[in-house]
């Protein structure tokens, strides 16, 4: 899973967990609803400032939107890096 897919999955998961629609999240972030939809479908990559702003609205740290919480961390070559940490 690449970083955009991880971000999209975390964004959708956290948004739903907070009971927010795409429209409500977009309103709070002062962006268009279709931008949230595009982020969740991996069509766009957010700026670091956008990641931070969305994280604040969702009540998490920005890095939490960028880390995979689903399965072991692997490199592109497929080696498990979680044992190295």
Residue 50 in tokens? 């956008």
In angstroms, the Cα distances linking 64 to 39, 68, 79 are 16, 8, 22
- Residues 7, 65 contacting (CB under 8 angstroms): yes
User: CATH classification of 3-65, choosing from 3.90.1010.10, 3.90.1300.10, 1.10.260.40, 3.20.20.150?
Assistant: 1.10.260.40
pLDDT-derived band at 76 (thresholds 50, 70, 90) equals: low
DSSP three-state, residue 80: strand
Question: What does the pLDDT read at residue 40?
Answer: 98
Q: What is the mean pLDDT of residues 17-46?
A: 97
| Total length of the chain | 85
Residue 28, pLDDT > 60, answer: yes
For the stretch 40-56, pLDDT in tens is: 999 999 999 999 999 99
Domain chopping of the chain, boundaries: 3-65
Q: Alpha-carbon distance 50 to 11, whole Å?
A: 12
Residue 78, pLDDT > 70, answer: no
């Amino acid at each position: 899973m690449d970083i955009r897919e991880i971000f999209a999955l975390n964004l959708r998961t956290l948004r739903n967990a907070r009971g927010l629609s795409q429209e409500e999240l977009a309103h709070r972030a002062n962006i268009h609803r279709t931008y949230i939809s595009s982020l969740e479908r991996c069509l766009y990559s957010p700026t670091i400032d956008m990641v931070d702003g969305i994280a604040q609205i969702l009540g998490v740290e920005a890095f939490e939107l960028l880390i995979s919480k689903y399965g072991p961390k692997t490199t592109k070559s497929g080696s498990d890096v979680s044992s190295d940490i």
